[in-house]
């Protein structure tokens, strides 16, 4: 071909050969990961107004959540132990209350056995998480 930039082009084979393995998140790094998220500039991804809360009109127009990638990390169970009872967001009045709630949830990952089990079971099958770092006593149910 006569186009001068073709010689510098990247083929699918060349890209595949250059790929490196991603750095996996570990159990010991979770708390810092979530603390950095809450302290970061992109807080509107974690604490935001939702149509669901707005329609309830109960003085809590926002929801807060922890995220890993694009998935909401569960906080625990409410009203049962099936997947439909997993709590993945919590209502809040404003950003400050949301930050306080998230800080409490992050602390629970270190201190509360039930929360640890729920979070461990959530992470055990995530591609970008090293499941071998999860303490064995946390797997197998909540």
pLDDT digits (tens, 9 = 90+) for 40-96: 888 999 999 988 888 887 889 999 999 998 999 999 999 888 889 999 999 999 999
User: pLDDT grade, residue 17 (50/70/90)?
Assistant: confident
Give the start-to-end residue ranges of the domains of the chain.
24-138
In a 13 Å sphere around the CA of 77, the CA atoms on its Cβ side amount to 16
Residue 25 has pLDDT above 90, yes or no: yes
pLDDT at 18: 64
CA distance 88 to 72: 6
- The residues near 81 (Cβ < 8 Å, ≥ 6 apart) are 141, 142
CA distances from 114 to 82, 85, 120, 135 (A): 14, 14, 10, 13
pLDDT at 35: 96
% of the chain surpassing 70 pLDDT:
94
pTM over 0.75: yes
């Amino acid at each position: 071909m006569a186009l001068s930039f073709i010689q510098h082009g990247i083929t699918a084979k060349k890209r595949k050969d250059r790929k490196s393995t991603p750095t996996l998140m570990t159990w010991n790094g979770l708390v810092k990961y979530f603390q950095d998220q809450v302290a970061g500039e992109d807080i509107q991804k974690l604490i935001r107004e939702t149509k669901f809360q707005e329609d309830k009109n109960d003085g809590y127009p926002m929801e807060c959540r922890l995220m890993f990638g694009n998935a909401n990390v569960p906080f625990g169970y409410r009203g049962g132990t099936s997947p439909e009872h997993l709590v993945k967001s919590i209502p809040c009045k404003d950003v400050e209350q949301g930050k306080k709630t998230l800080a409490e949830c992050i602390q629970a990952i270190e201190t509360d056995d039930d929360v640890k089990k729920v979070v461990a079971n959530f992470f055990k099958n995530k591609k970008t998480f090293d499941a071998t770092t999860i303490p064995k006593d946390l797997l197998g149910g909540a």
